Structures are given as C-alpha cells and as structure tokens.
Structure 1
Amino acid sequence: MWSFIVPAHDEAPLIAATLAAIHASARECGVAYELIVVDDDSSDGTAEIARSNGARVESVAFRHIAATRNAGAAVANGMRLCFVDADTLIDARALAAAVAALDAGVVGGGCAVVLDGRVPFGIRAFTAALMHVFRWMRVTPGCFVFCTREAFDATGGFDTNYYAGEDVAFSRALATVGRVRILREAVRTSDRKLRTFGVLDHLRLMLRFALRGRRILRSRDHLALWYDKRRH
C-alpha cells in the first residue's frame, strides 16, 4: 500500500485540488493507498477541507517542515511513502513512473517540477535547467518525494536540524541506502513564492547561503520564503 503524506499549513485555497489529484492518480494507477494530511498549526479551514476530501488528518504544531513530514510517516501504514506538498498537483503518469521505479529496486526518488501559473519564460527556462542538475546530482525536489518504508526508516527520516533543504538532505541519505532515481515525468507546483517574494528576496537568500552555507537552514530566521505568510 502507498501512503500519501501531505504536510500543510494554512493551505485552504489549494489543498482540495492537491488531494483530488492524488485520489485520481492513485485510482488510475490501481494502487491501494491512504491519504494523510499533517495539519501543522493552521489557522484556516485546511483540516476541514482535507477531511471532506477523503484524507485522514493528523494535527501538529511544529511549524517545521521536516518534523511535519516525519509525523506523517510515523502514523502511515503503507510500505511505500510519497510526500506531496499541499500546493502540488501530481498525475497518473508521474505516479506510475514512481511505482515502476520502486518495483525495479530503487529505494526512492523524486521527479521533475513545472511551475504552475503565469511564470516568465526566463524563470521557466531556469527551472528546467535546474531539473537537469537535480537529476544529475540525484537530488529530490521536496514537492514530490517517494521511497520505501524500509529506506525511510534506515535513513531516520527527514533531518530535523533543517528548516529548509531537508529534501536535499533526505535524498543524500537515501543514496547511502540504495539507488535513487529522479524521474523525467513532472508534477506541477504553485508559483506563489514568485508572487509573494521578489527577485531581491531570492537574491538575498542566495547571498546568505553563499556566505553562511547550510547554517542558515537550521533556523527559521532567514527563511521567509518558506515560513512567512504567502500570497495565493
């Protein structure tokens, strides 16, 4: 069985579409599955919308994406885990490729990502190029990460020392357990970071990372792109 785990904080505007896409993809692929939304201290109707769309809701108050993902895995019953961000739409093609990869002995992986919305051509081109780098480095973009339960347990799950970049750390940990595959199939994820934060915000983050390295990922202090209120 597959366990789809969706970490969520104030995702009322988008989560219904995300859950509908998961249901449709799983049914089309013919896999047994459960759907878990980990509601991390939401102040809107995220939990109610999730329940009304066929998800089991686990409530936490971490405001910490790695810990929230791990909380979902802790209550999951499936032997195959799939972490899907609450602003991401998967399809049967991507899920079928993930199923085939695990059937072939891969321990986990991710897929390509396409930004949804009216995204400038330059940003789309940069994202496409970044996907090639991720595939070459076996890095899993966090919006769609799959693995076996055995591999997840062997790595210890997502590293809670990180408030962002936990997906990169997890993919590197998976690679110590077995083969990791980044699928060519893509999922669609929201462009809201581009709408909420400008080019200067992104450049400041890149500069801080260049100067301080992974240390900036160990606190929410400079991670507004992930933890400040977002524009839907």
Structure 2
Amino acid sequence: MWSFIVPAHDEAPLLGATLDALHAAARDAGFDYECVVVDDASTDATAEVARAHGARVVSVAFRHIAATRNAGAAASTGERLCFVDADTLVNAALLRAANAALDAGAAGGGCAVRLSGNVAWPVRAFTALLMQAFRWTHVTPGCFVFCTRAAFHATGGFDESYYAAEDVVFSRALARIGRIAILREAVHTSDRKLRTFGVLDHFRLMLRFALGGRRVLRSRDALALWYARRRH
C-alpha cells in the first residue's frame, strides 16, 4: 500500500485540490493507498478541508517541516511512502512511474517540477535547468519525494536539525543506501513563493547561505521563504 503524506500549515485554500488530484491519480493507477495530512499548528480550516477530501488528519504543533514529515511517516501504514506538498498536483502517470522505479529496486526518488500560474519565461527556463541539475546530482525536489518504508527507516527519516533543505539532506541519505530515481514525469506546484517574495528576498537568502553555510538552515529565523505567511 502507498501512503501519501501531506504536511500542511494554513493550507485550506489549496489542500482540497491537492487531495482530489491524489485520489484521482491513485485510483487511476490502481493503488491501494491512504492520504495522511499532518496539520502543523494551522490557524485556518486545514484539518476540516483535509477530512472533507478523504484524508486522515494527524495534528502536531512543530512548525518544522522535517519533524512534520516524520510525524506523517510514523502515523502512516503503507510500505511505500510519498511526501507531497499541499500546493502540488500529481497525476497517475507519475505515480505509475514511481511505483515502477521502486519495483525495479530504487530506494526512492523524486520527479520533475513545473510551476503553475503566470510565471515569466526566464523563471520557467531556470526551473527547467534546476531540474536537470537535480537529476544529475540525484536530489529530490521536496514537493514530491517517494521511498520504501524500509529505506525511510534506514536513513533515519528527515533530519530534524534542518528547518529547510531537509529534502536535499534526505535524498543524499537515500543515495547512500540505494539507487535514487529522478523521474521525467512532472508534478505541478504553486508559484506562490514567487508572488510572495521578490528577487531581493531570494538574493538575501542566497547571501545569508553563502556567508553562514548550513547553520542558516538550522533555525527558522532567516527562512521566511518557508515559514512566513504566503499568498494563495
């Protein structure tokens, strides 16, 4: 069985569409599956939306994406795990490809990412180049990460010393125990970070990371791109 784990903080506006897409894709792919939404200290109707769209809700108060993902894995029951962001739409072709990759012996993997919305062509071109770099370096974009439960436990799960880039750290850990599959099939994910934070905000974050290295990722303080309120 597949367990789809969706970490969510104040995701009521987008979560329903994400869950509807997951249900449709999993049924079309012929999977036995469950959807687990990890409601992390939401102040809106995230939990109600999740239940209305056929998900089981796990409530936590971490405001810490790695810990939230791990809580979802602990509460799930499937032998194949898939972590899906609450603003991300999957399809059956992608799920079939992920299932085939695990059948072929991969420990886990990710997929290509396309941004939804009115995104300027330079940003789309940069995203495409970034996806190719991820494929070359076996890095899994965090909006869609899949693995076997055995591989998840072998890595120790998502490293909770990180408040961001936990997906990169996790994919590196997966690569140490087995093969990583970066699928050419794609998910569509929201462009809301681009609408909420400008070029200057992204530049400041890159500068902080260049000066401070990984320690910048070990606190929420400089990570507004992940932890500040976003525009839906």
CA distance in 1, matches of 2:178, 2:128: 26
Q: CA deviation at 1:211?
A: 1.1
Specify the code of the residue in structure 2 equivalent to 1:65.
I
- Specify the alignment match of 2:5 in structure 1: 5
Tell me if 1:135 matches 2:141.
Answer: no
Specify the code of the residue in structure 2 equivalent to 1:117.
G
Q: CA deviation at 1:31?
A: 0.6
Tell me if 1:115 matches 2:153.
Answer: no
CA distance in 2, matches of 1:186, 1:213: 30
CA distance in 2, matches of 1:168, 1:193: 19
- Specify the alignment match of 1:50 in structure 2: 50
Tell me if 1:92 matches 2:92.
Answer: yes
- Specify the alignment match of 1:205 in structure 2: 205
CA distance in 2, matches of 1:94, 1:225: 27
Deviation readout 1:24-59 (Å, 9 max, x if unpaired): 000000010011000000000000000010000000
RMSD of aligned Cα (Å): 0.4
Equivalent position SS for 1:175? helix
Specify the code of the residue in structure 1 equivalent to 2:161.
N
Q: What TM-score, normalized by structure 1, do the two folds share?
A: 1.00
Specify the code of the residue in structure 2 equivalent to 1:145.
V
Could you list the structure 1 runs, at least 4 aligned residues long, displaced by more than 6 angstroms after superposition: none
CA distance in 2, matches of 1:120, 1:148: 36
What stretches of structure 1 of length at least 5 have no aligned partner? none
Q: CA deviation at 1:101?
A: 0.2
CA distance in 1, matches of 2:136, 2:215: 25
- Trace 1:1-232 onto structure 2 (pairs within 5 A): 1-232=1-232
Q: CA deviation at 1:93?
A: 1.1
Deviation readout 1:164-214 (Å, 9 max, x if unpaired): 000000000001110011101100000000000000000000111111111
CA distance in 2, matches of 1:92, 1:144: 14
Q: CA deviation at 1:92?
A: 0.7
CA distance in 1, matches of 2:181, 2:204: 31
CA distance in 2, matches of 1:2, 1:212: 39
Specify the code of the residue in structure 1 equivalent to 2:6.
V
CA distance in 1, matches of 2:166, 2:218: 10
CA distance in 2, matches of 1:32, 1:86: 21
Specify the code of the residue in structure 2 equivalent to 1:112.
A
What stretches of structure 2 of length at least 5 have no aligned partner? none
Equivalent position SS for 2:12? coil
CA distance in 2, matches of 1:172, 1:94: 22
